[in-house]
């Protein structure tokens, strides 16, 4: 039980820091076009009870994008490459440990790119 609480603590802390939604005008200029398309699609969807956020991070010397919006009811978070290909699901799911393909992903040094509450 302690492991799951400690595991989600950084994610919950980062979520609490984002009280206001980021807008499309706030998006970084160097954001890949596929990420912009994904954000535009998410902006058109109805709001959900679970905050949806996209963060930029580094993983294996590559820029990646961490999407945390599907974590309700055992959903996974998703880690995307710069070309928006799914790399893995670092956390979430029934066990809370993701799909096991990127257990070395560090979710403590994330830069918020977009968020909707």
Cβ–Cβ < 8 Å for 105, 88: yes
pLDDT at position 55 over 70:
yes
| pTM metric for this prediction | 0.75
Mean pLDDT of the chain: 81
Per the structure, the complete domain to which residue 89 belongs is given by 2-116
> What distances in angstroms separate CA 87 from CA 32, 40, 46, 83, one per listed residue?
16, 21, 26, 10
Torsion of CA 29, 117, 64, 11, to 10 degrees: 140
Whole-number Cα distances in Å, 68 to 47, 55, 72: 14, 8, 10
Question: What pLDDT does residue 25 have?
Answer: 57
Query: 56 and 68 in contact (C-beta within 8 Å)?
Result: no
| Total tally of structural domains belonging to the chain | 1
**Whole-angstrom Cα distance, residue 12 to residue 17?**
9
Which pLDDT band holds residue 26 (cuts at 50, 70, 90)?
A: confident
């Amino acid at each position: 039980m302690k492991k799951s609480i400690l595991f989600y603590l950084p994610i919950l802390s980062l979520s609490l820091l984002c009280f206001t939604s980021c807008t499309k005008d706030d998006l970084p200029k160097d954001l890949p076009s596929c990420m912009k398309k994904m954000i535009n699609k998410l902006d058109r969807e109805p709001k959900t009870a679970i905050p949806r956020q996209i963060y930029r991070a580094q993983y294996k010397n590559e820029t990646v994008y961490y999407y945390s919006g599907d974590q309700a009811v055992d959903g996974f978070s998703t880690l995307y490459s710069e070309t928006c290909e799914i790399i893995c699901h670092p956390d979430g799911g029934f066990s809370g440990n993701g799909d096991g393909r990127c257990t070395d992903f560090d979710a403590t040094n994330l830069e918020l790119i977009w968020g909707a509450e």
